[in-house]
A and B are shown apart, each in its own frame.
Chain A
Amino acid sequence: MNTNISAIIGAAKVEAIQLLRSPLLVVLTGIQAITFLILVSLFGLTGSMAPTALVNYDQGSYSKSLIQNLQSAHHSFRLEPMSSDEATKELAQGKLVAEIIIPSGFSQTIINGGTASLAVNVDNIDTDMTHDIQRALPSAISHFANQQEFPNIHVTVSEHDLINHDTSYISYLIVSALALDAFVVAGILSAVSAAREFELGTVKLLWLAPVHPIFPFIGRMITTDIFAMASMIGSGLIVVAGYNVHLLHPFEMCAALSVCVFICGCAGTMLGTALKRVLPVSSLIFGLAIPFYVSSGALEPERFDGNFMWYAGHISPLYYAVGFLEHAAYGFQVTPEPIFLDVIMLFVWAIAMMLLTGYILQRKLVI
């Protein structure tokens, strides 16, 4: 057998043995993948289940209709009927985001043709939540008014959905979280593997061996990528079974995850080789993961927050990965670029990362 191939296979086996004999590292890295799914779910949960008190002093029919509209007006609400005293107390304790008060005589005022007033007390410690309340109330009121066919309402909403089914925010988000998982799992495993060679001083053996040191590093990366892929399959199963996501294109999903793992494995190997220390490189990958993920446009289908962030997103492979993954899961096109361009760009990233990693290994490993 060619010595280079023998070195790749030998290093791949050694990495597998080392990982299997470090079950804590493997298990904890797998758990990281799950905790990142939970983390991303929490973004959605906090945004969609804001507890809001409903204090109703009116027993008329209009107040009941308004409450129904409030409940269906905006995903952000979790309306909790309670007394005024309870609501005031819980709002002060930070347990509620807002308190909506339907005054006594609300229905009668409307029957009499008057203008009824709703009092809203808002905990504006986080304006994001305040804005949700501010957006939701007029929407619910106008819907209520249309439903009751109040005079002087001349505008109604006629909604036509682009997609024939709704996707909850968390279901949408959790698919993109797989790209974040790939970055963390493949990045950490490959970075630790590369950095450990320097930390233990075993890289000297590779310098002395009659093969280019890049070959054993390739062997190690193949194994870490296989372990990372196994972890990704676990995460994927959680997404399918736990979050009830029905994959539209399962093979496309596998391809997308494989490319993500490869890119992130290269990135980890490169950073591990450049930094040569396990702890700093692990911290760096954790530090990079969330910003790359958030700037990738994962949290919303399009960038609505200005061109700078939109352009910044394009320099991250996760941007194209999220596009690829959302298409694989739901058939969505979530980037302005067509899906084939996302796929091409992701493969361009894979080739670029492979070449860059090769260059860094060449620079750092050759005497």
Chain B
Amino acid sequence: MKIDRSKNSYQLAVEFEKISHSVDKRLILDNVDLAIERNHIVGLLGPNGAGKTTLLSLMAGLIHPSSGRITILGKQLPADTMFRKRFGMVFQETALYQELSVYETLKFAASLYGVPNADTRIGEVLELIGLTKRKNDLVRILSGGLRRRVSIGRALLHKPELLLIDEPTLGLDATARHAIWEHLRLLRSMRNTTIIVATNQLDEAQALCDVVTVLNKGKILFTETPDELVARAGCCLDIDCKRAAATLILNALKNSADVLRVEQTGRGVAVFVKSTTTPDKILHKITRVAPIDNFRFRTADLVEVFQTLNGVYEH
């Protein structure tokens, strides 16, 4: 998905124009242009140090860019303090007071944001994040997943138009991750909230996001749908075989037009197959040049996507 400059600022939740940001002369973001439409769940995807958290912090006004212009919800930053009522942010570290209960945490947030009818609104949020029955539990006894839900609830309390979430499921188990994804999807569908999620997990981007913006080393590589991204990386075919067979397979496939990349692994060879071809066709080709012990098809992970993409960009 390309940035659609024809959208006016009212339709855009976030607009970055030629944003650069340096810390101690180290360039963190390099001339970034970004436009995010309202009512979407957008993923900022990239490896550690790509600049995802910096992008979110710039959107929230927690830091100011070295150069360029940022417009959030039609308002150019820096904006007045009351503008902060229009967005919410969930930090990578949950930043919760350990000695407070879930209810007290939300009550304090309500006092900071001047939320009217605070108790009613807290009740709604507790319902939304599924913690009504545990509202009197202290934060310190909650699991990581529940704490994450509390911080999401806290960010939602003042009904923000834009929600910024840094690593929403960092360190959580599969069940907790799915629960949080479900909450975020529900939130978007119920409130038309624009949600921007920074993550380095491809499956999270696939499961949650309408659009993914891929960053690396402070630059935006491209913006597209998760399916387009996965297709770009292709399917991975893991082959288990002897070392001699692996060498034969590497030589046979290294110039193949159907293969994005091929590399030797501890157990044999990993072949990244272009989405325009079928893995079966490649498997057939392999079995003709060397004997194999076993094989598996799987989706490429984020690291492999980046390795593949770098290869593409190097070409």
Interface on A for B, CB 8 Å cutoff?
Answer: 1-3, 6-7, 9-11, 13-14, 17-18, 21-22, 200-202, 204-212, 216, 367
Contact = CB atoms under 8 A, between A and B. Distances in A.
A154 B93 CA distance: 84
Nearest to A207: B62
Interface in B71-122: 81-85, 88-89, 91, 93, 95-100, 104, 107-114
Contacts of A14: 97, 100, 104, 108
A-B interface, 3 closest residue pairs, ranked by CB to CB distance from nearest: A10-B111, A3-B114, A209-B112
Interface in B8-34: none
Contact of A10 (B61, B62, B85, B108): B108
A202 B97 contact: yes
A208 B163 CA distance: 12
Contacts of B82: 210
A215 to B, nearest CB: 9
B84 A210 contact: yes
B198 interface: no
A3 B97 CA distance: 21
Given A13-B108, A205-B95, A210-B81, 9 more contacts: A6-B114, A7-B111, A7-B112, A7-B114, A14-B104, A201-B91, A208-B84, A209-B113, A211-B112
Interface residues of B, number: 31
B60 interface: yes
B63 interface: yes
B114 A201 contact: no
A209 B95 contact: no
Contact of A209 (B64, B84, B99): B84
Contact of A17 (B84, B100, B112, B114): B100
A210 B114 contact: yes
A200 B95 contact: yes
B143 to A, nearest CB: 18
30 contacts: A2-B114, A3-B112, A6-B111, A6-B114, A7-B112, A7-B114, A9-B111, A10-B107, A10-B110, A14-B104, A14-B108, A17-B100, A18-B99, A21-B99, A200-B96, A200-B98, A201-B91, A201-B95, A204-B89, A205-B95, A206-B112, A207-B62, A208-B60, A208-B62, A208-B84, A208-B89, A209-B113, A212-B81, A367-B61, A367-B64
Interface of B: 60-64, 81-85, 88-89, 91, 93, 95-100, 104, 107-114, 138, 154
B81 A211 contact: yes
Contacts of A13: 108, 111
A216 B112 CA distance: 8
B104 A17 contact: yes
Which of A18, A202, A216 has the most C-beta atoms of chain B within 10 angstroms of its own C-beta? A202
A3 B115 CA distance: 9
B62 A11 contact: no
Contacts of B114: 1-3, 6-7, 210-211
Contacts of B113: 3, 209-210
Nearest to A9: B111
Contacts of B138: 21
A26 to B, nearest CB: 12
A204 B95 contact: yes
Nearest to B63: A367
Greatest chain B CB density within 10 A among A3, A11, A208 is at: A208
Contacts of A17: 99-100, 104
A165 to B, nearest CB: 49
A7 B91 CA distance: 21
Contacts of B95: 200-202, 204-205
A367 B62 CA distance: 6
A2 B84 CA distance: 16
A202 B99 contact: no
A218 B93 CA distance: 25
Contact of B99 (A22, A204, A207): A22
A10 B112 CA distance: 7
A10 B95 CA distance: 17
A205 B109 contact: yes
A201 B98 CA distance: 12
B81 A202 contact: no
A3 B116 CA distance: 10
A196 to B, nearest CB: 9
Contacts of A7: 111-112, 114
A2 B112 CA distance: 10
Given A14-B100, A18-B99, A212-B81, A204 B62 contact: yes
Contacts of A367: 61-64
